[in-house]
Amino acid sequence: RDYVRKYAEVNYIEGSDDEKWSKRDFPWTKKLEANNKKVFGNHSFRPNQREVINATMSRHDVFVLMPTGGGKSLTYQLPALISPGVTIVISPLVSLIQDQIMHLLQANISAAYLSANMEWTEQQEILRELCSGRCRYKLLYVTPEKVAKSDTLLRQLENLYARELLDRIVIDEAHCVSQWGHDFRPDYQSLGILKQKFPKIPVLALTATATASVKEDVVQALGLVDCIIFRQSFNRPNLRYSVIPKTKKCVEDIDKFIKDNHFDECGIIYCLSRKDCEKIAEKLQEFGHKAVFYHASMDSDKRATVQKMWSKDEINIMCATVAFGMGINKPDVRFVIHHSLPKSIEGYHQECGRAGRDGQHSSCVLYYSYSDYIRVKHMLSHGLTEQNSNANSGRVLETNTENLLRMVSYCENDVDCRRFLQLIHFGEKFDPVSCRKTCDNCFKAQNLVEKDVTEIATHLVELVKSVQQQFSASHILEVYRGSLSQIVKKYQHNTLRLHGAGKSVVKGEALRVLHHLVVEEILIEDVKRSDYYGCVSSILKVNEKKASNLLAGRQTIVLRFPCAIKASKSSRNDITTPAKGMLTSSKQSPLSVDTPAQTQPEVDLNLYAK
């Protein structure tokens, strides 16, 4: 409850509503514009850049939500350049920092960084420069663990503060503060100490991904005061989105997709495991593509080499885990393919965001299979993914699972506009009409049938209970549809009251209802310990709390199906809904509308036609 109460005190001001931030008569305006041209070589400002700079230069705490590639760095690098003292920038990855410093030095801006794995003498030299009479650094980058663990650094900052040379504190990738986010880093949580120690210094927090709860978490943890928020649409009109059922021949499908639409163009294929990266790269090479792999267990030289080759177009396809991406600045990435389920909608949006930075049409294709959900869940709960390896605490795991379920729901939905589904997640209302058929769901715009599936749902939940919550989803479906297989007989499940109750229900439909129950957390898919590594199975359990309304007959469940599915007996109340009015006429939240991948018609690749 403490948590909730603290939130109530958080207040912010919408910066975009206030015209004063776009004015051009601030004392620094001339200098700002001159340096933007002269030092950074930019002809103008991008959306919100001028506004953010004016607000932070006016010494307000500012929170910036700007899509990847939107130009967040400039909003603190320019102020740093035209202010007298030093700007401290907290950034999560040394590779990101090095990249930034390289660019700054190229522009003749003096900058340095401190990280824990630097030589101590080197660190001392930088700290000495910092407290010297005329420190030449305009920007000092530090990793968060430096702030959390180095008293020396804090003392130097106090020294700067006392001499009024601490201009501003910047928290880049600020979503890392939040456990609700997709990339939580514990060291970020201790950054609140900066505001405590230096209450008068303006803080600028920047991120490309923040849901409402992440945003509140960040503002709270950093202790921002009367913070001004700038945000802009996260829609990326030049990206096309689709979810395609994943078959056993997924790599062949990917090969065909690339040859048909992006031959010899540059792209990223995100894979779940290191092994997948290697296997897929190898296969694509066999198919004649210039592909390589990239993951965290390669040594850093090798990683740097392949990244450079890819940046220079010596190879075009990078098969990578999510370790690849932060700070990637290549403008002409033409496709981002997900070979397996991303771990959250935020992560997915950010990964897709690496495509089409130059504004040209680019493709985002996700190959989805429900079984990947089990696989990812298993990896998350065993800390086997490349992110969040230190995130095994109960709450983090819970958040991860919730994020993953939202992603499943996104994939299972073959009705609502993909943009709408992504953006609602960031608290942004998007009118699907503006999609102009650039996502698979809008592109098909099929007629849909609404159907009451309450009875099927109730039966499935009761069945899970009557087999003592010890069996898998596919077993439950077999029993429900009246199978007399050996295993059904072995456990005498053919004698159960509900054995065969779903004889007349189309299999895809029953499966769809079952997935819906998992997404709604009425059923819980528990990952069972595997006999040998790589094989993960699951058993279904009932979440008593969430199932109680359904079992007591107090809840109805309505799902929408494409007309192509033959109606089962129970579908007396069919309502044919035209695709367009869908989002408003729905009885459910759009996030809970889903259709099984199995019944989804193959996506017409014309969606990607240039």
Binding partner of 66, given ligand ADP, Zn ion, Mg ion, none, CB within 5-8 angstroms per partner class = ligand ADP
Give the Cα-Cα-Cα angle 503, 550, 521 (nearest 5 degrees): 95
In sequence order, which ranges of 60-162 are alpha helices (DSSP H)? 74-82, 94-106, 120-131, 144-149, 151-162
Tell me, residue by residue from 388 to 417, as one string, x for binding to Zn ion by CB under 5 A and - for no binding: -----------------------------x
DSSP designation for 434: G
Footprint on residues 19-58 left by Mg ion (CB under 5 A):
none
Q: Are strands 227-231 and 12-14 parallel, antiparallel or unpaired?
A: parallel
Q: Which stretch binds ligand ADP (CB under 6 A): 39-47, 255-263, 526-534, 568-576?
A: 39-47
Binding partner of 121, given Mg ion, Zn ion, ligand ADP, none, CB within 5-8 angstroms per partner class = none
Q: Which stretch binds Zn ion (CB under 5 A): 83-91, 120-128, 170-178, 441-449?
A: 441-449
Binding partner of 339, given Zn ion, Mg ion, ligand ADP, none, CB within 5-8 angstroms per partner class = none
Least separation, in Å, of the C-beta of 206 and Mg ion? 7
Least separation, in Å, of the C-beta of 20 and ligand ADP? 21
Tell me, residue by residue from 56 to 85, as one string, x for binding to ligand ADP by CB under 6 A and - for no binding: ----------x-xxxxxxx-----------
> Please, which residue, 158 or 332, has the CB nearer to ligand ADP?
332
> Please, which residue, 405 or 435, has the CB nearer to Zn ion?
435
Closest CA to 338 of 357, 318, 365: 365
Among positions 439, 476, 517, 547, the unique one binding Zn ion when judged by CB under 5 A? 439
**Is residue 171 a contact partner of residue 142, using CB atoms and an 8 Å limit?**
no
Residue 38: how many other CB atoms lie within 10 Å: 10
> Please, which residue, 170 or 222, has the CB nearer to ligand ADP?
170
Q: Which two tokens stand for residue 57?
A: 């230069």
Least separation, in Å, of the C-beta of 240 and Zn ion? 9
Q: Is 15 in the site for ligand ADP (CB under 6 A)?
A: no
Among positions 16, 29, 42, 115, the unique one binding ligand ADP when judged by CB under 6 A? 42
Can you give the length of the chain in residues?
Answer: 610
Site size for Zn ion (CB under 5 A): 4
Binding partner of 435, given Mg ion, Zn ion, ligand ADP, none, CB within 5-8 angstroms per partner class = Zn ion
Cβ partners under 8 Å of residue 548, min gap 6: none
DSSP codes, 41-63: --SSPPTTHHHHHHHHHTT--EE
> Please, which residue, 72 or 516, has the CB nearer to Mg ion?
72
Least separation, in Å, of the C-beta of 557 and ligand ADP? 41
Cite the beta strand spans of 436-475 per DSSP E: 448-452
Binding partner of 329, given Mg ion, Zn ion, ligand ADP, none, CB within 5-8 angstroms per partner class = ligand ADP
Q: Which stretch binds Zn ion (CB under 5 A): 55-63, 88-96, 430-438, 452-460?
A: 430-438
> Please, which residue, 307 or 441, has the CB nearer to Mg ion?
307
User: Largest alpha-carbon pair distance within the chain?
Assistant: 86
Q: Which two tokens stand for residue 576?
A: 């044919």
Q: Give the burial class of 6: count Cβ atoms within 10 A of its Cβ; 0-12 exposed, 13-18 middle, 19 or more buried.
A: exposed
What residue type is assigned to position 524 of the chain? Answer: I
> Please, which residue, 325 or 502, has the CB nearer to ligand ADP?
325
Least separation, in Å, of the C-beta of 98 and ligand ADP? 14
> Please, which residue, 89 or 336, has the CB nearer to Zn ion?
336
Least separation, in Å, of the C-beta of 511 and Zn ion? 25
CA–CA dist 355, 362 (Å, integer): 6
Residue 449: how many other CB atoms lie within 10 Å: 17
Binding partner of 293, given Mg ion, Zn ion, ligand ADP, none, CB within 5-8 angstroms per partner class = none
Least separation, in Å, of the C-beta of 143 and ligand ADP? 17
CA–CA dist 185, 166 (Å, integer): 25
Q: What is the separation of C-alpha 137 from the centre of its chain, rounded to a whole number of angstroms? A: 34
> Please, which residue, 64 or 547, has the CB nearer to ligand ADP?
64
Tell me, residue by residue from 64 to 83, as one string, x for binding to Mg ion by CB under 5 A and - for no binding: --------x-----------
Distances (CA, A) of 60 to 67, 129, 482: 22, 28, 66
Q: Which residue is nearest to Mg ion (CB)?
A: 72
> Please, which residue, 314 or 431, has the CB nearer to Zn ion?
431
Among positions 435, 510, 522, 524, the unique one binding Zn ion when judged by CB under 5 A? 435
Q: Are strands 362-368 and 333-338 parallel, antiparallel or unpaired?
A: parallel
Q: Give the burial class of 308: count Cβ atoms within 10 A of its Cβ; 0-12 exposed, 13-18 middle, 19 or more buried.
A: exposed
Closest CA to 171 of 192, 200, 150: 192
CA–CA dist 400, 377 (Å, integer): 9
Closest CA to 342 of 408, 280, 389: 408
Q: Is 329 in the site for ligand ADP (CB under 6 A)?
A: yes
Give the chain's count of helices (H) and strands (E).
24, 19
DSSP codes, 15-34: GGG-GGGG-S-STTHHHHHH
Q: Is 111 in the site for ligand ADP (CB under 6 A)?
A: no
- What is the contact surface with ligand ADP in residues (CB under 6 A)? 42, 44-46, 49, 66, 68-74, 329
- What is the contact surface with Zn ion in residues (CB under 5 A)? 417, 435, 439, 442
- What is the contact surface with Mg ion in residues (CB under 5 A)? 72
